[in-house]
């Protein structure tokens, strides 16, 4: 529903220079799990659209540097990323990207490479891609849930374990490829504010799986990416996302994605720069519960809250609003993660 509504304005889009879209892929294959895959034909069509549409495909590290320095981004800026290091990226995606001259980043975990999983690339293959322009970045040691999930583990123990995990992974990537980008993609897109603070202290930037364009209002330890795969692999829906704008968020409460016990209907309050937004046109979507009108608390602050408890696992609130002057849609997504009512977690 959200994408059907937003797609009506694609033809009116004009270039902007204060936002960039980061795409997140997993598999490029006809035979891998559909929920996290695009077919080779779909991937080629998407890259062709970028080439034909005048998009500026940047290395992710350059996009991050521009956001850090508050420098203007080129119009229609896009970065391409892949999570996990599946072999289909080397076999299928890499030749297509090389043909178009598009840079990209691979977020990899060490343990699957060391164990020689058949669907994963080896360090030898990753070094070849790196020599040919790919950037290799951190996806944790073993693709673990990095947020604190174990009651038997103290906060101090958890932070020490995760810190060692991330630093060991970074060191192994540097040893194997010579690259040390200090960029982390959260496994499963899960993070919390304590993890963000630790990463900031370590000098890392980090990426989630919540949707939206990245820009000067984005948190450098929770940069949004648009997942592309399964139900979100369609080119028409992707066109809308590629023209999205970074929601001008000035403040929000809560900023903590990991919900406390019993707080399964979180109220989100967001303060916006309203210069280019009509409050009557902002609409939110509760994952699994549909569209919901926000409640405006002042001229520039709104609140949104689920009618029903969010399910165990991961959920999102998505809010969008059309630009008054530029044709595109501002897009904001707040991720949430919670255990089951008994405190245990869904097995994955």
Residue 9: the pLDDT is: 46
Question: Does 3.40.47.10 match the CATH number of domain 251-338?
Answer: no
All residues at 6 or more sequence positions from 253 whose CB lies less than 8 Å from its CB, including other chains: 268, 269
The beta strand positions in 41-185, using DSSP E, are 56-57, 77-83, 105-108, 135-138, 183-185
Other Cβ atoms closer than 10 A to 275: 9
Query: Which segments of the chain have a pLDDT < 50?
Result: 4-5, 7-16
pLDDT score at 348: 81
Cβ neighbors of 69 (< 8 A, separation 6 or more) are none
pLDDT of residue 8: 41
What are 162-200's pLDDT values in tens digits?
999 999 999 999 999 999 999 999 999 999 999 999 999
pLDDT confidence of residue 13: 44
Q: Give residues with Cβ within 8 angstroms of 115, minimum separation 6.
A: none
Task: Determine the straight-line distance between the first and last CA of the chain, rounded to whole angstroms.
Answer: 28
Distance CA 221, CA 203 (A): 10
CATH superfamily of 2-243: Glycoside hydrolase/deacetylase (3.20.20.370)
Q: Which tens digits make up the pLDDT trace of 56-79?
A: 999 999 999 999 999 989 999 999
- The helix-helix angle for 155-177 and 123-131 (nearest 10°) equals 60
- The pLDDT assigned to 152 comes to 81
Contacts by residues 178-181 (CB-CB < 8 Å, ≥ 24 positions apart): 178/130, 179/130, 179/135, 179/136, 179/137, 181/61, 181/105, 181/135, 181/136, 181/137, 181/138
Q: Three-state SS for 298?
A: coil
Q: How far apart are CA 158 and CA 140, in angstroms?
A: 14
CA distance 2 to 176: 43
Half-sphere exposure of 144 (CA within 13 A, CB side): 18
Residue 328, pLDDT score:
87
Six-digit token pair at 10?
């694609």
Q: Residue 293 is encoded by which pair of tokens?
A: 């009108």
Residue closest to 130 by CA, chosen among 78, 59, 185: 59
pLDDT of residue 7: 46
The whole-angstrom separation of Cα 104 and Cα 25 is 11
For the chain, the structural domain boundaries read 2-243, 251-338
């Amino acid at each position: 529903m959200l994408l059907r509504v937003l797609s009506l304005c694609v033809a009116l889009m004009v270039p902007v220079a204060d936002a960039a879209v980061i795409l997140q892929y997993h598999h490029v294959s006809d035979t891998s799990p559909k929920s996290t895959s695009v077919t080779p034909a779909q991937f080629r069509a998407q890259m062709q659209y970028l080439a034909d549409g005048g998009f500026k495909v940047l290395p992710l590290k350059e996009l991050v540097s521009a956001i850090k320095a508050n420098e203007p981004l080129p119009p229609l800026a896009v970065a391409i990323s892949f999570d996990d290091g599946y072999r289909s990226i080397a076999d299928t995606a890499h030749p297509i990207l090389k043909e178009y001259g598009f840079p990209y980043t691979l977020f990899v975990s060490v343990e699957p490479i060391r164990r020689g999983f058949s669907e994963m690339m080896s360090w030898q293959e990753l070094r070849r891609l790196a020599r040919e322009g790919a950037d290799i970045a951190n996806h944790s040691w073993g693709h673990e849930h990095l947020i604190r999930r174990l009651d038997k583990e103290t906060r101090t123990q958890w932070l020490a374990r995760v810190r060692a995990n991330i630093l060991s992974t970074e060191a192994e990537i540097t040893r194997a490829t010579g690259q040390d980008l200090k960029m982390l993609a959260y496994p499963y897109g899960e993070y919390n504010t304590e993890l963000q603070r630790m990463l900031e202290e370590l000098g890392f930037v980090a990426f989630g799986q919540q949707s939206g364009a990245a820009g000067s209002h984005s948190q450098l330890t929770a940069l949004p990416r648009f997942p592309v795969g399964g139900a979100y692999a369609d080119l028409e829906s992707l066109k809308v996302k590629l023209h999205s704008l970074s929601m001008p968020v000035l403040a929000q409460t809560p900023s903590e994605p990991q919900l406390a016990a019993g707080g399964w209907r979180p109220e989100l309050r967001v303060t916006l720069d309203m210069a280019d937004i009509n409050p009557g046109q902002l609409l939110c979507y509760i994952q699994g519960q549909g569209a919901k009108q926000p409640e405006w608390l002042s001229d520039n602050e709104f609140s949104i809250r689920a009618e029903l408890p969010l399910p165990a696992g991961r959920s999102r609130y998505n809010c969008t609003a059309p630009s008054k002057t530029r044709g595109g849609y501002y897009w904001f997504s707040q991720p949430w993660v919670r255990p089951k009512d008994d405190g245990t977690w869904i097995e994955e």
